[in-house]
Structure 1
């Protein structure tokens, strides 16, 4: 029996189902094949030329995320000490997230920041790009591919009352020295901000309504007033933003953090800089 004859023996409902499945499969394939990056270069970077950043910046993420709402990412400078250029900004783009620009980091001119780690939400299988702007005015890009889904709509870990009590708490940790061959005299530190960082895509499990977006959109870290690192954040930064970084101390006696969120709240704290970290 020919394929055409067999098809004629299929009930009409079966033919319709086959048609629907074919359409869905075709649409899924098209969505999987779609590459948003060229449009993001236009929207985020105004179509500026992109250079290969393999020798400038590394982006480290797991190939498959254990928890799509808490995916670790590390951005690491690969510039040699002899290179007279410096990294001015790093923009982290999660291509297929609802709001692709996850964060833009501005590095203090004299802080010599060589590594930044944080945690992000990843909503679907996607390329993740990191774009460094150097002091020569050029952009350099590198990328990784991450398998994860549903990170932007995953329920918050804390209930609303616990999250509210926790909001605005700032914690600071410093380490004795930086690891993995960083610049001589460099050290690592970590700043944690208590905040729900609601994405706007999460649903209240009681009311079944979407929780409005509410997140840290500005974070500045300084040593005695001299900028170490600033972050312009978005909905892709995970709940309770956590930034770990490597920098060179300038002899400051205090380390300061100032965080602002999308509702206009300002959270500030300062800590004494210890001679040896924990």
Structure 2
């Protein structure tokens, strides 16, 4: 059995429960609410544990042959670290990426997002911003339609991203919670080539690790946990997300529209609030 790192030892009696929580990306229990887990441990110990629990004994090919991750070596703002993921498979290839995991090893909730690409028209080219708690490897693992796994990783130097206070007035942020901004970042000349689209969801994405400067109390975690993208009534992609995404989570993605239609985004948070917005592409 894979050794359980010290940061997870409180769950030794219920490893199966931990696996289920990890799979859903909801690892935010108080026992893990520490800002710099894994400090002093072998860097690969946590990943070894996560790899075993999430992927068992499946082979993971490392390198940039299928997926390429770009991240800053030293983050300017640990609460808003930009990441870019590019699918390296040719657009006309029979192979395509169907699933993708975004993992930040040393975050309190390592599983930051799991994405499902339901349609061949949704390309696995993404950009987003994440929180990084402490110096950590950031990984993207992609699964192709034939069941093979591929990984790329970058080491990011950052500290305090998960405990950084939400900027501005939290009450005001909650008042505007769920408002969305959708736009076309890059529009191809035809309908059969990828368009780059972006959605931003106003949400404080509270980690539960921030401390109120007056009461010194920590709020309950409250963050966007699901995002679904559909076009013309067909699901293109959907994501299971955690507070590892930054405040006001933003996702930029590529989509081949195939023709005029309505782009619809539906999001849900951990308090079962649902938000939606539609953008007509024409």
Normalising by structure 2, we get a TM-score of 0.81
Q: Which residue pairs with 1:242 in the alignment?
A: 250
Q: Which residue pairs with 2:170 in the alignment?
A: 160
Tell whether the 8 Å contact from 1:114 to 1:247 is kept in structure 2 after alignment: no
Tell whether the 8 Å contact from 1:223 to 1:252 is kept in structure 2 after alignment: no
Tell whether the 8 Å contact from 1:111 to 1:227 is kept in structure 2 after alignment: no
Structure 2: gaps of 5 or more residues: 1-37
Which stretch shifts more, 245-254 or 187-196? 245-254
- 1:29, distance to aligned residue in structure 2 (A): 7.7
Per the alignment, do residues 262 and 109 of structure 1 end up closer, same or farther by CA in structure 2, a change over 3 Å counting?
A: same
Q: Deviation per CA, 1:15-74: give whole Å up to 9, x if none.
A: xxxxxxxxxxxxx98336563111010122234221224200000110100000000001
Give the Cα separation in 2 of the matches to 1:82 and 1:191.
Answer: 26
Tell whether the 8 Å contact from 2:104 to 2:136 is kept in structure 1 after alignment: yes
Per the alignment, do residues 205 and 120 of structure 1 end up closer, same or farther by CA in structure 2, a change over 3 Å counting?
A: same
Q: Which residue pairs with 1:218 in the alignment?
A: 226
Tell whether the 8 Å contact from 2:69 to 2:152 is kept in structure 1 after alignment: yes
Tell whether the 8 Å contact from 2:180 to 2:202 is kept in structure 1 after alignment: yes
- 1:111, distance to aligned residue in structure 2 (A): 1.6
- 1:251, distance to aligned residue in structure 2 (A): 1.4
SS at 1:42's partner residue?
Answer: helix
Structure 1 segment 50-69 matched on structure 2, within 5 A? 50-69=60-79
1:272 corresponds to which of 270, 275, 280 = 280
Q: Which residue pairs with 1:134 in the alignment?
A: 144
Give the Cα separation in 2 of the matches to 1:253 and 1:78.
Answer: 27
Structure 1 segment 86-165 matched on structure 2, within 5 A? 86-165=96-175
Q: Which residue pairs with 1:205 in the alignment?
A: 213
Q: How many residues align?
A: 244
The higher radius of gyration belongs to 1
Tell whether the 8 Å contact from 1:56 to 1:140 is kept in structure 2 after alignment: yes
Normalising by structure 1, we get a TM-score of 0.82
